Amino acid sequence: MRNLTFGFFDDSGLPRDTRILMFYSFETEEHLARSGILHYHVEERRFVGPRHDQELTTAALDFLSRAGRLPTITT
C-alpha cells in the first residue's frame, strides 16, 4: 500500500459518539488506485461490514487514534 490517506464522513447522519464512517484511498504496488469506506463501531471497538485487509485496518485504527476519535479505555 502506497500513498494511503484517510478522511471522515462526519455529515453521514450517524451519531459520532457511536459510529465513525471514514474513507480511504491508496495505490497498490502494481500502481492501481483503490478506495473505499470503513465503518467503525465505537462501542464494539471494531470495524463492521465486509472484511478488510489487516494492514488497512491497522493503519485506520492508528489514524483514528491520532485524530482523537477513539475513546480512552478506563479501568
pLDDT of residue 58: 94
> How sure is the predictor about 12, in pLDDT bands with cuts at 50, 70 and 90?
low
Q: Is the pLDDT of residue 27 over 60?
A: yes
The cell for 5 is 490517506
- Every domain of the chain and the residues it spans: 2-66
pLDDT in tens, 33-63: 999 999 999 999 999 988 878 999 999 999 9
pTM (two decimals)? 0.82
Residues 7 and 23: beta-carbon distance below 8 Å: yes
Q: Is pLDDT at 14 greater than 80 in this prediction?
A: no
Task: State how far the Cα of 75 lies from the Cα of 73, in Å rounded to an integer.
Answer: 7
